[in-house]
Chain A
Amino acid sequence: MPDLGDMLWRAERALESGYTGRAAAPGAVARAKRLVRRRRTLRHWGEGVGAVAAVGVVGAVVWLGAPGDREPPLPAATGSTAASSPTPTGEPEPSADPEPTESGAATPTFTSTPTAAGCSPGGGGVPVGADVRQVVDVDGDGRPDRAWLATEDDGQRRFGITTASGATFWIDIESASPIQASAVVQLVQSDHVPIALVDFSRSAQVYSLAGCAVTEVLNAQGLPYTFDRGMGDQGTGAGCTLVGGALRLAGLDAVRNPDGTYDVSRTFIDLDAGARHATNESRVVVARGAKADAPVVVTASEVSCGELVAGRDGPVQPMP
């Protein structure tokens, strides 16, 4: 009888032989290195803050324990003391307080400043080599704007908006997925808040474009709101459904039945003012026994918003 260890070993070698010549996806190594750098930086920063905090705690204990001539303690030094100053009008600057992402990595962003005539100019414009598509009016000045996806020289992916008024604001995308990203931009809800859905093939993420900035929308746990694209048990796609004259963001889930048909459920997602936080409504089954090529199933397997579909009606990440 063959030994299982030997069988596994031979199967692994057969796979290796089959994969010989297969290279990592373009930009994957650079993306991995960037994530490693960020992880290391955060760890070192955390250790530094921890050490300072430990010293502070020890100092406080010593001070509290010492009787008699106490003096007010000096302000303790910490790892993050700088308060962000107001952004000068018309002069965009990098966000001073990047939000932590689900993976624990900080996400650099670049913002502009809202004015009555749209976002104030600045920000460097569309990066060279970016894939650019005209999209809806993001900044409310009545003119269509442009969305783009770029791959930096070091492999970092960046999604941004360049408005007709000349403002450019963007966010670095932190996803280990080696698959090309694509995006779609739309105005949703009755308050016509601008959002972007970025599709990473295995997952998708929603960003707010309100306030002349690309900002991660956070879920109830304070983590970036992410749509499952079939790898977990939460859903297969994201879309926007027209309700009462306005598009509503929704998570979609197409589940295959034993007979080959699909049941599709939908979860509406409410965005707060400025689309900074998202809240799920109840999950509702919208189709049962639908064929695989039925529009409801196809839509549930895509990232779209209204008639716009990511990969078709928005920018697609260029390969380096």
Chain B
Amino acid sequence: MGRWEPLLETLVRERYARLLARAALVAATPAEAEDLVQDALVATFGGRARFGSVEQAEQYVRRAIVSRSIDRARSRTSERRAVERLAGRTDAAAAEPALAGVDRDLVAALHLLGPRERACVVLRHLDDLSVAQTAAALRLSDGAVKRYTSDGLALLAAHLGATADADRTPVRLVRTESTRDA
């Protein structure tokens, strides 16, 4: 058994909910979230990167989930069509948790964005990546990242009234939950 195997097992056992949550933010449908996690696990552990800890592996997989979300969605149009097609289908196993208030509205608004817009917004504003880092992660140009981020923010703002500066310089922190909660 390779050293990566127990790491993968531990990651799925201990962090599956967290990975699914990330996937649910960028997936076109709740049902796609599970597929995204699965794809990202295979892409991450099947690649060249090596991890020393579950935390490190989790970061890679979370990033892979976002980049894979773009790969899976060929275009915004096709994705929207897919959402419409799947609207009438039930998939209890893949159902998204019931959210309330702002969380529900935000996730619903995210689902209205195109996959690239969603991915750019999440990487720039949730992971605090720079434009260059986001471009590298998503294999897009810097200009495309700026445009998708700006478009995404505008749509989100229209739906939520949230404000965020598309040209802000993200503060890069080694984030922990305690610092966020503070």
* Chain A residues in the interface with B (C-beta under 8 A): 1-25, 28-29, 31-33, 35-37, 39-40, 43, 176-179, 201-202, 230-233, 236, 254-256, 292, 301
Contact = CB atoms under 8 A, between A and B. Distances in A.
Contact of B156 (A3, A4, A10, A201): A4
Contacts of A10: 102-103
Nearest to A4: B164
A195 B125 CA distance: 49
A3 B100 CA distance: 18
A203 to B, nearest CB: 10
Contacts of A6: 180
A8 B78 contact: no
Interface string B12-56: 100011101110110010011011011101100110100000000
B25 A233 contact: no
Interface in B112-128: 121-122, 125-126, 128
A230 B91 CA distance: 14
B142 interface: no
Contacts of B106: 7-8, 11
A178 to B, nearest CB: 5
Given A4-B162, A11-B107, A233-B77, A21 B17 contact: yes
Given A8-B122, A40-B46, A256-B84, A17 B4 contact: no
A230 B85 contact: yes
Contacts of A36: 4, 8, 41-42, 45-46
A257 to B, nearest CB: 9
20 contacts: A4-B153, A4-B163, A4-B164, A5-B164, A8-B121, A9-B180, A14-B99, A32-B42, A33-B5, A33-B45, A35-B42, A35-B46, A36-B46, A39-B46, A176-B38, A179-B91, A202-B31, A202-B35, A255-B81, A256-B84
B71 to A, nearest CB: 12
Contact of A19 (B17, B72, B107): B17
Nearest to A103: B42
B119 to A, nearest CB: 12
**In the A-B complex, the 4 residue pairs with the closest CB atoms:** A18-B97, A233-B78, A39-B46, A15-B21
Contact of A11 (B25, B38, B91): B25
Contacts of B84: 256
Contact of A231 (B75, B82, B97, B160): B82
Contact of B38 (A13, A21, A40, A178): A178
Given A4-B153, A178-B34, A32 B41 contact: yes
A3 B78 contact: no
A28 B20 CA distance: 14
Q: Chain B CB within 10 Å — which of A22, A23, A43 has the most?
A: A22
A29 B18 contact: no
B99 A11 contact: yes
B20 A22 contact: yes
B125 A4 contact: yes
B125 A8 contact: yes
Contact of A24 (B12, B22, B88, B122): B12
A14 B20 CA distance: 11
Nearest to B72: A231
Contact of A29 (B12, B21, B180): B12
Contacts of B102: 2, 7, 10-11
B16 to A, nearest CB: 6
A86 to B, nearest CB: 35
Contacts of A233: 74-75, 77-78, 81-82
B122 to A, nearest CB: 7
A232 B72 CA distance: 8
Given A15-B25, A25-B34, 9 more contacts: A1-B162, A8-B122, A15-B20, A25-B93, A37-B2, A177-B38, A202-B32, A230-B89, A232-B82
Contacts of B24: 15, 19
A70 B103 CA distance: 76
A27 to B, nearest CB: 11
A256 B85 contact: yes
Nearest to B1: A33
B86 interface: yes
Given A8-B126, A29-B8, A23 B16 contact: yes
Given A19-B17, A33-B5, A35-B42, A12 B82 contact: no
